[in-house]
Structure 1
Amino acid sequence: MSDCKTYSYPGAGEWARKEMSYSQAIRVENRIVCAGQGGWDRQTLEFSPKLDEEIDQAFENVQENLKHAGGKGWTQVYRVVTYSTDIKATHQRIVENFRKWMPDHQPVWTEIGVKELGLPIMHFEIEVEAYDPQGAAEAAKN
């Protein structure tokens, strides 16, 4: 995969790359494909005990992940997959975040209920793909 550039944002992203051998994002032609983002504080890896705050932080982590990979953020997202340990408790907050972060477009979305996620403290995780032809042209120059 030498022709695909990978990204790991400072803090949690660098930790995941070093300790778990995965990147937070990868550019594939005109797309940015993001690893699942949890509601962790990017510097401390701590989680809020409040579910709504965990979800909000995960959405913010997606924004920062996309920007770190040279994208513009949620405005370029066309595909979303969410994983929740309790869909009934998370569904409405996810929709609220969609409206906040993507007021001018609606991506495709798959909502999945799961028994558990990668860290025992996690209740929510989100994956996205973004279309970024301008950023791809810039990344190709570097």
Structure 2
Amino acid sequence: MSKPEFFVTPGYGDYLRENLHYSQAVKVGNRIETSGQGGWDDEFNIPPSLADEIGQAFANLTRTLTAAGAGWEHVVHVNSYHVGGFPPEVNEAMVKWYRHYMPNHAPIWTQVGVESLGLPTMRIEIRVTAIIP
């Protein structure tokens, strides 16, 4: 078995590693797992718009995948966690970003409704699994 290699997303990941003692991604062999990425900026501000928050979570996943040596073309599984249920704008935004970042494949996806997330203002958190051929 390959030795796990941990990655920290530059910016907010440095703060989370230092203060909450966790990494943003781990690579074992050709498999990368990310921790949940929220729609925060580097100062942990959350956009007022849910659609913008979802877009920022995808942007943060891009940063995290890049830090671990992967890209969206390698993503095979997505878990998304949602506060406030599933109004139409949730799936509209998720599908918009799926088609933007993964135009040539459709990953498997699990959506879960939750009561709360790591920051009181968060409404979405997304984690992915990537396989590098």
TM-score normalised over the length of structure 1: 0.87
Q: Secondary structure at the match of 2:109?
A: strand
CA distance in 1, matches of 2:82, 2:11: 24
The structural deviation recorded for 1:30 is 0.8
Q: How does 1:1-142 map to 2 (within 5 A)?
A: 3-41=3-41, 43-71=42-70, 73-85=71-83, 86-88=85-87, 89-133=89-133
Deviates more, 1:61-70 or 1:87-96: 87-96
Aligned length: 130
Percent of aligned positions that are identical: 42
Root-mean-square deviation over aligned CA pairs: 1.3
Which runs of no fewer than 5 residues in structure 1 stay unpaired?
A: 134-142
Would you tell me which structure has more helix in proportion to its own residues?
A: 1
Deviation per CA, 1:80-118: give whole Å up to 9, x if none. 000111322412211111111101000000011111111
Q: State the 4+ residue runs in structure 1 displaced beyond 6 angstroms.
A: none
Which runs of no fewer than 5 residues in structure 2 stay unpaired?
A: none
CA distance in 1, matches of 2:86, 2:31: 28
Q: In 1, are the aligned partners of 2:78 and 2:129 still within 8 Å (CA)?
A: yes
